[in-house]
Amino acid sequence: MIIRPYTPEDLDALAAIYRDAVFGIGTSAYSAEQATVWASFPDDREAFAGLLSKGIALVAEIDGAPAAFCHLHPLDHISLLYTGTRHARKGLATAVYLGVEAYAREQGQLVLTTDASKLSRPFFEHHGFVVRRTEQTIRQGVSFERYQMEKRLEG
């Protein structure tokens, strides 16, 4: 496994990882309609590329191809964390997350936040995040439950 910064050439691979994770894992916690809406975000290539160009994104590469990624934007917010289903539960999400957390610490951040899905909530709890608030968010007219989570970085 190689951990490296995102480059614009990774865009299609990261979009594929995103969709694969949603349809491969997300359907265990979300309806088909919710998964379809959730997975559609990278279809807007300009918006997806625009988000990834802000902040920092780290990519876990296996055999020369992206397999997982984590995005930090702004400097105190984990905005994306996805692993392709073929590489799930192999430590890739942890590796890219820890790299992003280290970067946030280097930048002087004292707190990290995220808006976690039902699926990612246990991952973030395992890494020291706590739920501050449960909310319903609407995407394309479809409601999703998510968790505003926070982790203190002091110490």
User: Residue 155: its pLDDT value, please?
Assistant: 60
Residue 143: pLDDT band (50, 70, 90) is: confident
pTM of this structure: 0.93
- Percentage of the chain beyond pLDDT 90 is 77
**Mean pLDDT, the chain, whole residue set:** 93
Beta-carbon contacts of 37 under 8 Å, excluding residues fewer than 6 positions away, are: 139, 140, 142
Coil/strand/helix, residue 77: strand
pLDDT in tens, 64-104: 999 999 999 999 999 999 999 999 889 999 999 999 999 99
